[in-house]
């Protein structure tokens, strides 16, 4: 319970890592229903925070033409800050129960060296004891060998935990599949705001970019029995000293 209480006072941000080519680039309509990996539980996704191997169990939004699937979870609001882009490759629309459709993922991007992409604002208190997994799809347009960018997630409003902004590893833009970067926000509370920005690497792509944003949640892990016993022993030692 101590961890849950602490989490409600200050949110912390972490970069969990990236997973490359969760989906192959689809240049034609998928031939098999539910074949696209980000919504397919049979594709292993070790960084999916809730462990169900489905990116975006709680919701998703992003850039798409023809069909624009967007399900924003009730615990946040989402607003774009900058960028625009074109369609790129087909993908499965989770709102279509047939699993095959004409939705196309695009990119939200800019030619700037660095830019803020979107803002999340937390609504209500349901995330105070939760880890919010934020997955950002990248490598969705016009890349090449050596081209890379980084994402940075920064809390801009609210009580900031001791971690501060977190920046991803260099993310390669190879134009060969749908890749995902994963951040985790722990203990966010009502009114907290977070901004995702991107910066070109030494060999940057033509466009800073992202395609989809997906949301998952899981309970904040309970402290282990060993940790609790350790805290109890420390308290006893301090009490004896007093």
In sign, the C-alpha dihedral spanning 38, 42, 46, 51 is positive
Write out the chain's pLDDT in tens, 242 residues.
Answer: 333 343 346 899 999 999 998 887 766 666 665 557 787 788 899 999 999 998 999 988 876 555 556 789 999 999 988 766 666 666 666 666 666 666 666 677 788 899 999 999 999 999 999 999 999 988 866 677 789 999 999 999 988 766 789 999 999 988 777 899 999 999 999 999 999 999 999 888 888 888 889 999 999 987 754 454 455 554 544 554 55
The whole-angstrom separation of Cα 241 and Cα 236 is: 9
What pTM was estimated for this model as a whole? 0.84
The whole-angstrom separation of Cα 37 and Cα 91 is: 9
Q: Range of 10's domain? A: 2-241
**Max Cα-Cα span within the chain:** 72
CA 23 to chain centre: 16
Query: How many domains does the chain fold into?
Result: 1
């Amino acid at each position: 319970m101590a961890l849950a209480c602490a989490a409600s006072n200050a949110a912390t941000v972490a970069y969990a890592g990236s997973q490359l080519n969760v989906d192959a680039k689809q240049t034609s309509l998928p031939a098999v229903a539910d074949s696209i990996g980000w919504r397919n539980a049979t594709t292993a996704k070790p960084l999916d925070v809730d462990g169900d191997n489905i990116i975006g169990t709680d919701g998703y939004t992003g850039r798409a033409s023809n069909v624009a699937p967007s399900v924003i979870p009730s615990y946040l609001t989402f607003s774009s800050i900058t960028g625009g882009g074109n369609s790129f490759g087909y993908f499965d629309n989770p709102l279509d129960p047939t699993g095959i459709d004409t939705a196309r993922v695009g990119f939200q991007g800019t030619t700037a060296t660095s830019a803020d992409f979107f803002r999340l604002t937390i609504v209500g208190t349901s995330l105070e004891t939760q880890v919010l997994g934020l997955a950002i799809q990248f490598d969705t347009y016009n890349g090449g060998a050596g081209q890379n960018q980084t994402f940075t997630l920064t809390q801009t409003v609210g009580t900031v935990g001791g971690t501060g902004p977190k920046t991803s590893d260099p993310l390669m833009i190879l134009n060969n599949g749908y890749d995902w970067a994963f951040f985790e926000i722990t203990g966010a509370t009502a009114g907290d705001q977070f901004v995702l920005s991107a910066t070109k690497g030494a060999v940057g792509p033509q466009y800073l970019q992202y395609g989809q944003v997906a949301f998952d949640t899981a309970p904040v892990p309970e402290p282990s029995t060993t940790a609790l016993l350790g805290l109890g022993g420390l308290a006893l030692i301090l009490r004896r000293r007093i």
